[in-house]
Amino acid sequence: MTPMRDLKMPQHHSEVVNLNGWEPDDEFPIGPMGAKPKRIFICPTPAPHKFLIGGHRYLFKEPEHPHTMQVWSEVIAYELSRYVRVPVPPAFLATAPRNGSPGVLVEFFYGHRDRPPVRFIHGIERLQAFGFPVDHRRGSLKDNLTVCRRQRIADWRFWWAETLAFDTLIGNTDRHSENWGFMASTQPEGTLAFSMAPAFDNGTSLGYLVREPDLARYQQPATLKRFLERGSHHCGWISSDAASAQHVELCRRYGTHVNDTKPTMKRVVDISNTQIEELLSWCRGFDYSLPFSASRALFVGAQLRARRDALLDALLGEDE
């Protein structure tokens, strides 16, 4: 059975976040990593909506053409994560201050005032510290796993199982070494304890580059099949692989080599057609300057169902 959604308040159709009046973060006004500029704002107190946290930091991203649909990819990835219980930073539809351009507002997953202080460390920092080669075009999953073991992460096997399966479900192609990382907390004796950060930066997914006039063609079975087969994770299995691994194949290989992780991957893609339709209907209900069209909903729904079924078939086939 698919787990219940979490208890964080959802964003209702009348609650697109207007950033007029939000103060920029004086210390870090621009996001620290990534190819595209991102702005950081502090949520007013009291918060204007129940799903926001007053006084907390938020990242605001305004992808430009042809990447504008990444706004919806981020929001859908978060809403989808609430069904399948994969930790993903909350992401909400928003509009920029002054010009009202559409963007996605992402809650910082650290720096909460009511929680113990933690430091975030990008995966690339630890890969480099341990002497692994870093290729921004293609990563090595085995190198990532080795780093997690060396950091003594208790649940690294299941975190990667969840994240690989989730990336497969949404077709995320951008889980490079700056898009995963660790949370470090200081223990009473002064040592650092490490855990995995949530699976953040999920916008490069769900066929966001497919233009509106082309959506009908991509819903045709043969075209959709070719599109899905071309999709690959950012990583290969090892650094010497000639290319990044196809999503389902990487999950299959991971489940074969890393014990007891197949049930976790199966759980992540245990989402019903009814739940997918509920999610896409929610998207369609927003009166937003970047609309989520009926054709886009059909295309995204077809992707989610096909990737879910392909991964389940691959994992079940391994058990036979």
**Degrees to nearest 5, angle at CA 134 with 129 and 139:** 125
Residue with tokens 């989520």: 292
Contact of 154 with 257, CB cutoff 8 Å:
no
Residue 114's pLDDT band (boundaries 50, 70, 90)? confident
For 21, 144, 157, the CA distances from 239, given in Å and listed in that order, are 47, 10, 19
Pairing of strands 192-196, 91-95: unpaired
- pLDDT tens figures, 42-61: 999 999 999 999 999 999 99
Gyration radius of the chain's alpha carbons: 19
Percent of the chain with pLDDT over 70: 93
DSSP three-state, residue 47:
coil
Task: Enumerate residues 6+ apart whose C-beta is below 8 A from 174.
Answer: 201, 203, 204, 205, 234
Neighbours of 271 (CB within 10 A): 18
Q: Which two tokens stand for residue 43?
A: 């949520």
Statement: residue 4 has pLDDT above 50: no
Identify the pLDDT of residue 37: 62
DSSP 138: -
Lowest mean pLDDT across 47-51, 112-116, 165-169, 291-295: 112-116
What's this model's pTM, rounded to 2 decimal places?
0.93
Residue 30's pLDDT band (boundaries 50, 70, 90)? low
Statement: residue 76 has pLDDT above 90: yes
Contact of 167 with 303, CB cutoff 8 Å:
no
**Average pLDDT score, the chain:** 92
Mean pLDDT along residues 171-200: 93
Statement: residue 251 has pLDDT above 90: yes
Mean pLDDT along residues 78-92: 96
Using CA atoms, how far apart are residues 210 and 142, in angstroms rounded to an integer?
32
Identify the pLDDT of residue 318: 64
319: enclosing H helix or E strand: helix 294-319
Torsion of CA 259, 263, 264, 265, to 10 degrees: 100
Statement: residue 105 has pLDDT above 50: yes
| Cα–Cα nearest to 5, from 75, 74, 79, 76 | 79
Contact of 315 with 251, CB cutoff 8 Å:
yes
Statement: residue 62 has pLDDT above 90: yes
